[in-house]
Amino acid sequence: MSADSKDVVVTGLGATTPLGGDVASTWSALLAGRSGIGAIEEEWAAALPVRIAGRLAVEPTEVLDRVQARRMDRCEQIALVAAREAWADAGRPDVDPERLAVVIGTGTGGALTLLGQDDVLEASGVRKVSPHTVPMLMANGPAAWVSIELGARGGAHTPVSACASGAEAIAMGLDLIRLGRADVVVAGGTEACVHPLPLAGFAQARAHSTRNDDPQRASRPFDVDRDGFVIGEGSVVVVLERAGFAAARAARRHARLAGAGVTSDAHHITAAHPEGQVRAMRKALAEAGLSPLAIDHVHAHATSTPKGDLVEAESVAEAIGLHPAVTATKSMTGHLFGAAGAMGALASILAVREGVIPATQNLDTLDPAVKLDVVTGRPRYGAVTAALTNSFGFGGHNASLVFTAAS
């Protein structure tokens, strides 16, 4: 295998998140330490123990064609919004459709459609159910819509690995290029499931923060008083290219995707195991050809759960060490579930490109069991030559990605 076929670069970035409707506004908010978390205003939330969420800053229906949007679930809408931005940012590569692939991960797919149309069925009968229900609820819908939009014929794939889905999608994109099956891959994650049922379920599992009176400070990774994550919605998509292909068209390169590590715990359906996380990080480092000391920055999965943050802190310390600057942007976005890994990738890519690491918010008192160098207060400026981002999900899914400066 030639060196060119193994070298993969990031040429396009797209996002719509609780912090902004595009990459620039999302990144600006991260550096400013702004929160995208607020109270849920709908009447249905009044009876729930959880009434906060990270809602989109810009409604996708403000961007998409009205007729098209009505035929898409919210998670499909925002994947298309993010993909369009990423594709434009990459310069709309002139690539053979057979050599263009799409990989969009999601945790729940069209959950809003599934639950909403079930309500319609129960209340009004079969004749009122939308004929678009199935293509709107299917988990592969976001990848399918993006592939249709771009004319991608090299495969449209959908990793469904809970909160690791977005990172696994990017890892799969890396594999597709390195295996010689594609020159360009549009990859990322999407999620939109702010609904009474998921909120009630997470509340019953005591996984979600109940700081309803202070939503912007509810997500507090690594803080001694953290009490759970905050549900969020959003989509992040990147364009990956074989380095030689990108060079031939003189494309701008944001960063290099140097390696990925994907593992499974085979341990417990919800409880994480540090050994699986350590293996994912070490696999990513080995694939990137880097030693732990080469990592300047770690974007932590850090959802703000009492146990989960500690497991990851121990895993990072074992796999990489205590030297990297660590941040946790879920303190501002909330937990984007299937898009979380792609969001972590975006923040890591921009940290490498810009030489600045956003500060973790709401970290008043670092948990004494956490020995990491967590960035707080203000962003930390300085060269970031290599960054690692973690994503872990229910079911024991672990994914780590390594990004380095584009040469």
**Contact assessment for residue 293 and residue 322, using Cβ atoms and an 8 Å cutoff:** no
For residue 335, indicate whether it is catalytic: yes
Annotated catalytic residue within 157, 163, 208, 273: 163
At position 81, the amino acid (one-letter code) is V
For residue 132, indicate whether it is catalytic: no
Annotated catalytic residue within 157, 208, 273, 335: 335
Measured CA to CA, the distance from residue 361 to residue 234 in angstroms comes to 19
Measured CA to CA, the distance from residue 211 to residue 301 in angstroms comes to 21
What single DSSP character describes residue 131? T
Annotated catalytic residue within 254, 297, 299, 301: 301
Q: Work out the angle between the directed axes of helices 111-124 and 74-89 (0-180°, nearest 10).
A: 150
Q: How many Cβ atoms sit within 10 Å of the Cβ of residue 67?
A: 7
Sole residue written with tokens 């109940």: 210
Q: Among residues 164, 136, 398, which one has the least CA distance to residue 266?
A: 398
For residue 273, indicate whether it is catalytic: no
Measured CA to CA, the distance from residue 386 to residue 294 in angstroms comes to 7
Q: Among residues 165, 167, 143, which one has the least CA distance to residue 155?
A: 143
> Which H helix or E strand runs over 230?
none
DSSP structure string for 30-60: HHHT---EEE--SGGGGGSS--EEE--SS-G
**Contact assessment for residue 356 and residue 380, using Cβ atoms and an 8 Å cutoff:** yes
* Catalytic positions, written as ranges: 163, 301, 335
